[in-house]
């Protein structure tokens, strides 16, 4: 998932997607342990996608705090 795709999503969509990806990551880990996962690079990609989404959420939170502080 690209950063620009994440930025286009609203906060609720991102939170929903994070939950989905985290459950997907758990499933991939189980498959990896059971030797059923053929593409192990998926683990890294899913972790990176989760990190990207959390980063965008944090950026939005910081930007929101700045605007609240400027208005005060």
Residues 47-58: pLDDT tens digits?
999 999 999 999
CA atoms within 13 A on the CB side of 32: 12
Sign of CA dihedral 43, 26, 4, 39: positive
Do residues 25 and 46 touch, judged by C-beta distance below 8 A? Answer: yes
Please indicate, yes or no, whether the overall pTM of this predicted structure exceeds 0.85.
yes
Distances (CA, A) of 58 to 26, 46, 50, 51, 72: 23, 18, 12, 10, 21
* Complete domains list, the chain, with CATH: 3-71 (1.10.287.310)
pLDDT, tens digit (0-9, with 9 covering 90-100), for 19-71: 999 999 999 999 999 999 999 999 999 999 999 999 999 999 999 999 998 88
pLDDT at 20: 98
- Is the separation of the CB atoms in 54 and 62 below 8 Å? no
């Amino acid at each position: 998932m690209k950063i620009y795709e994440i930025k286009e999503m609203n906060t609720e969509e991102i939170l929903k997607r994070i939950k989905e990806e985290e459950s997907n990551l758990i499933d991939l880990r189980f498959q990896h342990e059971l030797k059923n996962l053929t593409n192990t690079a998926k683990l890294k990609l899913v972790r990176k996608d989760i990190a990207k989404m959390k980063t965008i959420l944090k950026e939005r939170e910081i930007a929101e705090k700045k605007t609240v502080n400027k208005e005060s």
